[in-house]
Amino acid sequence: MGIIIDGKKISSEIKEQLKNRTAELAAAGKRPPCLTVIIVGDDGASKVYVANNEKTCKNAGFKSVTHRLPEQTTERELLEFIDRLDNDPETDGILIQLPLPKHINEENVLLRIDPSKDVDGFHPYNTGLLAQGRPILPPCTPSGVIELLKRQGIEIEGKHCVVIGRSNIVGKPAALLLMQENGTVTVCHSRTKNLADICRSADILVAAVGKPEFVKADMVKDGAVVIDVGVHRLNDGKLCGDVDFEGCKDKASYITPVPGGVGSMTVAMLLKNCMTAYESKN
């Protein structure tokens, strides 16, 4: 069986390093980084995610501020609220919890965030820097993929890396980050022909297709590294990813589980971006 990459363990190591850094700041009489989250409405899943963020921030020594706005908040009111945070020197990172109510245009809201405080890495300015190979605040999940590979000691340079999925949130930025590490990257999507053949050529296979257990064992080369970005809840309540883990684990040299793999990295990379944003201006 391939080696299971422990995302929880690696995430904990990153958080501990950030905690040590905030302790150094406190010893020097400096304030900690501040992550500000805005949640609009009463979405249950969003509330759970925000509560977990708050707990993680506190444990790492960060200041966490959450603004809970009512469902009826207008787009104009939200944009004006973001403007105030953009101009607040004590706010280092701004996170807009999605989804927003249907009467609010998400694109307009994300564009309003100061790129230097865009810890999600979704602003076009930060996307442009990523495309140029000089990211400052890269998207959290794709950068978590790279961090997993590096900390596991997996060489990316010169490897054929296949990314299944071309979303702006994961697929495209993951491909760009892999190229930055000198991987040779192929991006596959719903219109790709001979998908299974391309996947079988991958030294590193990143599944971000959004379909439960889409990647089967016959799509994986013996000894390939398999990174599963997907998260799905099945009818029986169990979680699974985009990869058929049981079928692929014996062919892969390394493989990430779901849960406990890439998903564990997202919040850690969010805090890392917040620290970067803080240090960039201090």
- Rounded distance, CA 242 to CA 78, Å? 35
- The rounded distance, in Å, linking the Cα atoms of 220 and 209 is 15
Alpha-carbon distances of 162 from 1, 83, 206, 220, rounded to whole Å: 22, 40, 6, 11
Give the pLDDT band (50/70/90) at residue 234. confident
- Helix ranges (H only) for the chain are 7-27, 44-60, 75-86, 106-112, 124-131, 140-151, 171-180, 195-200, 245-248, 265-281
The per-residue pLDDT for range 182-232, each reduced to its tens digit, is 999 999 999 999 999 999 999 999 999 999 999 999 999 999 999 999 999
Tokens 């022909």 locate to 193
Work out the average pLDDT over 10-26. 98
User: What is the four-CA torsion angle of 21, 22, 26, 28, rounded to 10 degrees?
Assistant: 30
The pLDDT of 270-275, averaged and rounded, is 98
* pLDDT tens per residue across span 105-134: 999 999 999 999 999 999 999 999 999 999
For the chain, give the mean pLDDT: 96
pLDDT value of residue 66: 95
pLDDT of residue 42: 83
- Using DSSP, state whether 226 is helix, strand or coil: strand
Say if residues 267 and 52 touch (Cβ distance below 8 Å). yes
Can you give the pLDDT at residue 244?
A: 97
Q: Average pLDDT for residues 3-24, to the nearest whole number?
A: 98
Question: What is the pLDDT, as a whole number, of residue 46?
Answer: 76
The pLDDT tens digits of the residues spanning 67-100 come to 999 999 999 999 999 999 999 999 999 999 989 9
For residues 153-159, give the mean pLDDT.
Answer: 98
Question: Tell me: the pLDDT tens digits for 31-64?
Answer: 999 999 999 998 777 778 888 889 999 999 999 9
Per DSSP bridges, beta strands 232-233 and 239-240 are: antiparallel
Give the C-alpha separation, 266 to 141, whole Å: 5
Quick one: pLDDT at residue 282?
A: 78
